[in-house]
Amino acid sequence: MQKQPLKKVHEIFWKLITAPEGVEEGLRQFPEIQIEDWFKGDEKLSPTRRLNIYANMYFWRIHDAIKEDYPEVFEKIGEKNWNNLMTDYLLRHPSDTPYLQYVGKYLPIFLKESPLSQKWPELYDLALLEWEKAMLFEAKEASTISIEDLQKIDIAKWPHLRFEFVPAFKLIETSKKDCIRIWRKDHAVFHKIISKEESVALNEALAKKPFSDICEKIGDAEKAARFLADWVEGGLIQKMLL
């Protein structure tokens, strides 16, 4: 048997096991290759069947991992659509990460362009929410301030107060321009659709603008204080900066 360079061996193996219609279809890319010259088989299992074991494991392991991150999307579109979606998704976005849990990161944007979104227009928003929630489960821990900490601040200093949010917090905007805040508290992840006013206030706060700017932006200091109290109680703020 002729010596085959390692890189070429890997390339052929990879292309065969990732071919969307299976190894036999993948072999058509390489008309110069006689598969028996590259891989061993026997009367029980041909080289093609043996490679198909890897092809199946490649597809189904990733399929199942992404399904875990998007249970509601899966539930909505059903198994058949999901299987087809995963085939198309892996063709466009083969894993570019060593971490199986991140392979599905492009799914929301992929769904935006998918024909499935014509039948279910809410798919992008649903997927985006599921993905961002999954990511918050593993965000860095941070201590948070309490209402008592806030109350200790001299009232005269409030206009200058700025805030640092915990890493396990995210503000997302849906395709319908709804704002959702997502946060983790005690290892549980929560989400809440918020008012336009609160999203404006949050964006100001996230940009580290002082409390006086937040009040001015929404034109209601009392409401801004209520938002702030809600964020503090939710465990969204880790530091106050003066």
Partner 1 sequence: MGLRPPHYSHLLENKTQVDWFEIISENYMMEGGRPLAVLDKLREKYPIVMHGVSLSIGSTDKIDFDYLKKLRRLAERIQPAWITDHLCWTGFGGHNAHDLLPLPYTEEAVANTVERIEKVQDFLGRSIGLENVSSYIEYRHATMPEWEFLTEVANRADCGILLDVNNIYVSSVNHRFDPSTYIQNVPADRVWQYHLAGHSDYGDYLLDTHDHPIIDPVWKLYHETIRTIGLRSTLIEWDDHIPEFSVLEAEAEQARGYAKTAA
Q: Which residues are near partner 1 by CB under 8 A? A: 1-7, 9-11, 13-14, 17-18, 36-40, 42, 44-45, 47, 49-51, 53-54, 57-58, 61-62, 65, 94-101, 103, 137-141, 167-168, 184, 187
Q: For partner 1, give the closer residue by CB, 17 or 107.
A: 17
> CA-to-CA distance for 54 and 57, rounded, in angstroms?
5
> CA-to-CA distance for 81 and 91, rounded, in angstroms?
16
- The first and second tokens of residue 117, run together, are 């979104």
Q: For partner 1, give the closer residue by CB, 65 or 153.
A: 65
- The first and second tokens of residue 122, run together, are 């809410």
Name the minimum Å distance from CB 17 to partner 1. 7
Name the minimum Å distance from CB 138 to partner 1. 4
Name the minimum Å distance from CB 71 to partner 1. 16
Amino acid at 187: H
Name the minimum Å distance from CB 128 to partner 1. 20
Q: How many CB atoms are located within 10 Å of the residue 35 CB?
A: 18
Q: For partner 1, give the closer residue by CB, 53 or 207.
A: 53
Task: Determine the Cα angle at 130 with ends 128 and 135, to 5°.
Answer: 95
Q: For partner 1, give the closer residue by CB, 36 or 79.
A: 36
Its sign, for the CA torsion 226, 232, 238, 241, is positive
